[in-house]
Amino acid sequence: MTHVSDPIPDVVSVDRVRLVDVIAAYVGLTKPRVIELLLLTTVPVMFFATGGVPKLGLVIATVIGGTLSAGSASVFNCVYDRDIDEQMRRTRRRALPRHIVSPTAALIFGVVLAVVSTAVLWAWVNPLSAALSLGANAFYVFIYTMLLKRRTTQNIVWGGIAGCFPALIGWTAVRDTVSWEPFVLFLVVFFWTPPHTWALAMRYREDYAQVDVPMLPVVRSARAVAAQIVAYSWVMVATSLAIVGSDRIGWFYPVAALILGGAFLVQAHRFHTRTKTSDDLSVLQPMELFHSSNLYLSLLFVAVAIDPLITR
């Protein structure tokens, strides 16, 4: 026998699916994978600045504030770039190109995240960290997204500065001041960004060419890009060793930096060698270098955190 109440569960289920889709869309606007990497350069520096294990409450507040701030910057980026995101294979599944979230709603969401993140960092961390976080957010939106991205091949070189700020924020969260050590780590991320991003851009160079975004792999040959990747990689590894002069560093970090740096340089040179014989993506395998760069930076900053725990 069919009961009048039978269809009700189906209606509720549809509503729930829609709610889940909308929530997932808003979360997607914040680019969670980017946030993960940014936090991985924040929390280890807090261990380094403390010389041991930082206070849990401070770590939680810094992580929450940093997550909301980075998420806000990503939302603003999605709003501004929604026209080209609709045309690119890598981005056409985002919430705005699929019209799951309106540009106005996304903009409001981004503003709310920015305000809340600044308030959290100001109240539970310190004003300096809040100001640095807000500055990184503004730099990413106004300098990289709106000014550089569509105008110059050096877009991610200078625009990537925004992604270097977490190293400073992790330090200031603990010490409420700046020092030369976090600036060295800042520069490591700065020199890491071009090899990391150009490898990804090479994989999607046709997408960028289609929307007239002048990423370096679009306007230069694969061999020329690979040569610059090798150059930046050497500077990055050399910079990572500059911090060894700090009296806060023991034996573990230098060993890890040498091993990780050597492994990444092998990958970068191998990639460069491939470009001498072919321009085909199936031969070049740029995503191999991209994933290696993620692993390199992650493990390097883990070494920053581990060093004071085992050498002090």
The pLDDT profile of the chain, 312 residues, written as one tens digit per residue, is: 444 444 434 333 434 447 888 899 999 999 998 898 889 999 999 999 999 999 999 999 999 999 999 999 999 999 999 999 999 988 988 999 998 999 999 999 999 999 999 999 999 999 999 999 999 999 999 999 999 999 999 999 999 999 999 999 999 999 999 999 999 999 999 999 999 999 999 999 999 999 999 999 999 999 999 999 999 999 999 999 999 989 999 999 999 999 999 999 999 999 999 999 888 888 899 999 999 999 999 999 999 999 999 987
> Closest Cα partner for 100 from 23, 30, 33?
23
Our measurement of the distance from residue 301's CA atom to the centroid of its chain's CA atoms, rounded to an integer in Å, reads: 14
Residue partners of 197: CB distance under 8 A and separation at least 6: 156, 160, 215
Residue with tokens 């930046």: 232
> Closest Cα partner for 142 from 189, 96, 77?
77
> Closest Cα partner for 132 from 43, 71, 66, 77?
66
Q: 62 phi and psi, to 5 degrees?
A: -65, -40
Consecutive H or E run containing 19: helix 8-29
Give CA–CA dist 258/245, Å, rounded.
Answer: 15
Cβ proximity of 229 and 289 under 8 Å: yes
Burial of 258 (0-12, 13-18, 19+ CB in 10 A): middle
Degrees to nearest 5, angle at CA 70 with 80 and 30? 60
Q: Would you state the pLDDT for residue 71?
A: 97
Q: Would you state the pLDDT for residue 299?
A: 97
> Closest Cα partner for 125 from 84, 160, 166?
166
Burial of 199 (0-12, 13-18, 19+ CB in 10 A): buried
- DSSP annotation of 94 reads S
Give CA–CA dist 234/191, Å, rounded.
Answer: 9
Cβ proximity of 108 and 158 under 8 Å: no
Q: Would you state the pLDDT for residue 197?
A: 97
Q: What is the DSSP string of 152-165?
A: -TTHHHHHGGGGGH
Q: What three-state secondary structure class fits 70? A: helix
Residue partners of 143: CB distance under 8 A and separation at least 6: 158, 159, 161, 162
Q: Would you state the pLDDT for residue 219?
A: 95
